[in-house]
Amino acid sequence: MLFKIINKLLSLAVLLRYGRLPENVRYFYRHTYYCQLVQLKYFFRDYVFKKPYKEISFSGEFAPELQFVLPFAYWHYKNGTLKSTNSTKFSKQFYFFSPNHEEAIARRTNEGNYNYEIPRILYSQNYNIRKWAQVPLKETYKNDIYVYNNPILIIANRYNSEWEGTPISFFSIELLDFMIEKLKQSYTLIYNRPRTINISVDDSDFYDLHEFEWLKQNHPEVLLMEDLFTENKSGAENFNHLQLMVYANADYFISTHGGTGTLASYFKGVNLILSKKGPEHHFNCYQKLYPKLSGAKILHAKTDEEVKGFIEQHYVRN
């Protein structure tokens, strides 16, 4: 009952302040306010008593976990108040700092995104976030194993359903051919599109782009992340562990909307993200939130042509 009353009051406040915005955007404003209210009840435990008590569990999608949950957990770790964390399988290496991490969640769900115990969920009008700390994934997993003559450039792609429809923000074979031809002389190119057996999946449907066969036939110089995992000369415990080690040695990324682009933003350097639509555009996530993840320079392309332009301007070496 109390939740419904607070929710109605917040909805009214958002309507009065942001009434001209579409309804499918306004409710994210309400979520932000509600999350902030929930955090008030932990004031004394977080700032006065400061003993390990916080048990953080998240079953939502990969992107919001990286954007909000992992930095929230790391803040509690640094604050001395983190007791345990719980996420999906293959997540242990992300929570390397947790005193007790479990992988007890079977599958990611959209419903799991709406975890109001986190200071932010999904999108927010305000990214001046308290209880949020930059997680040093690059510093933790940097190594002398994945080192090549040319600097590493990760091409991180995805090809799955978006908003219950067909794929929207992905690198087509034509676009892959363009970037490889432009960049193969200057970089060690590593292509990454994880198979479902190697990651914890969500409610999206995964499709076959048939690019792996095309890459092997037309661009054998491009290394495949899945081949590096098969070789596994680093002894990685799982595919995510390998990704962290390879990404930590890279300073150049070309990635796509969602968790793919979020993960690539954790490793400093430059990250070009193709995102053709989404609430991220309205909330300026790529300008306000993503640079906070590591200090990376984020380039947001909304079209394939903009991807090509950014590659010519920021990646091609004369």
Q: Is 70 exceeded by the pLDDT of residue 32?
A: yes
The pLDDT of residue 120 is 93
Q: Is 70 exceeded by the pLDDT of residue 75?
A: yes
Mean pLDDT, residues 20-25: 84
Percent of the chain with pLDDT over 90: 81
Mean pLDDT, residues 41-53: 97
The CB-side HSE value for 199 (13 A sphere, CA atoms) comes to 21
The pLDDT of residue 113 is 93
Coil vs helix vs strand at 117: coil
Q: Is 90 exceeded by the pLDDT of residue 3?
A: no
**What band does 114 get if pLDDT is binned at 50, 70 and 90?**
very high
Helix, strand, coil percentages, rounded to 5, for the chain: 45, 15, 40
Residues with Cβ within 8 Å of residue 112, at least 6 apart in sequence: 58, 59, 60, 61, 105
Q: Is 70 exceeded by the pLDDT of residue 116?
A: yes
**Strand (E) or helix (H) holding 192:** strand 188-192
**What band does 156 get if pLDDT is binned at 50, 70 and 90?**
very high
Percent of the chain with pLDDT over 70: 98
- The closest of 194, 158, 195 to 176, measured between CA atoms, is 158
Q: Is 90 exceeded by the pLDDT of residue 235?
A: yes
Strand-pair category, 188-192 with 152-156: parallel
Q: Among 7-21, 73-87, 158-172, 264-278, whose mean pLDDT is lowest?
A: 7-21
CA distances (Å), 260 to each of 40, 50, 243, in order? 33, 35, 11
Tell me if 138 sits within 8 A of 267, measured CB to CB. yes
Q: Is 90 exceeded by the pLDDT of residue 205?
A: no
The C-alpha atoms of residue 95 and residue 77 are separated, in whole angstroms, by 10
The pLDDT of residue 2 is 66
| Tokens found for residue 183 | 């960049």
Reading across the β-sheet that carries 82-88, which strands appear in turn?
54-57, 82-88, 101-105
Mean pLDDT, residues 196-224: 87
Per domain, the residue ranges of the chain are: 1-47, 50-119, 140-315
Mean of per-residue pLDDT scores for the chain:
93
pLDDT digits (tens, 9 = 90+) for 295-310: 999 999 999 999 999 9
**What band does 1 get if pLDDT is binned at 50, 70 and 90?**
low
Mean pLDDT, residues 271-294: 96
**In this structure, which topology does domain 140-315 adopt according to CATH?**
Rossmann fold (3.40.50)
Q: Is 70 exceeded by the pLDDT of residue 233?
A: yes
Q: How far is CA 2 from the centre of its chain?
A: 33
The C-alpha atoms of residue 225 and residue 198 are separated, in whole angstroms, by 11
Tell me if 94 sits within 8 A of 63, measured CB to CB. no
